[in-house]
Amino acid sequence: MNDLTRPERLQIMLTQDELAALDDWRFTRRMPSRAAAVRELLKRGLEAEGVQLADGKMRSRDFGVVDGPLRSKASGGDGESA
């Protein structure tokens, strides 16, 4: 795993239809996990609502939602993983 840590856990309950829709969406985009798919959908939803997110320089394997301290410009990070 990369430097990105996710100390918070969010548990959600889905219907079979919601889970099937999530899995279908995930597989067509070759996402590595359900969690990554949920984070990507959350990110897209927040962007659609006008919430400012990360600068878009993260690699696809990061699938982060917001720009955290490990990726901030202020800390000298460039948003790219080594």
- Using H for helix, E for strand and C for coil, what is the string for 27-66? HHCCCCCHHHHHHHHHHHHHHHCCCCCCCCCCCCCCCCCC
Write out pLDDT tens, residues 31-69. Answer: 999 999 999 999 899 989 888 766 656 565 655 556 655
- d(C-alpha 62, C-alpha 4), whole Å: 8
What's the pLDDT at 54? 61
What's the pLDDT at 51? 82
Q: 38: closest CA among 57, 15, 11?
A: 11
Q: What global pTM score does this model have?
A: 0.59
Residue 7 φ/ψ, nearest 5 degrees: -75, -15
Mean pLDDT of the chain: 76
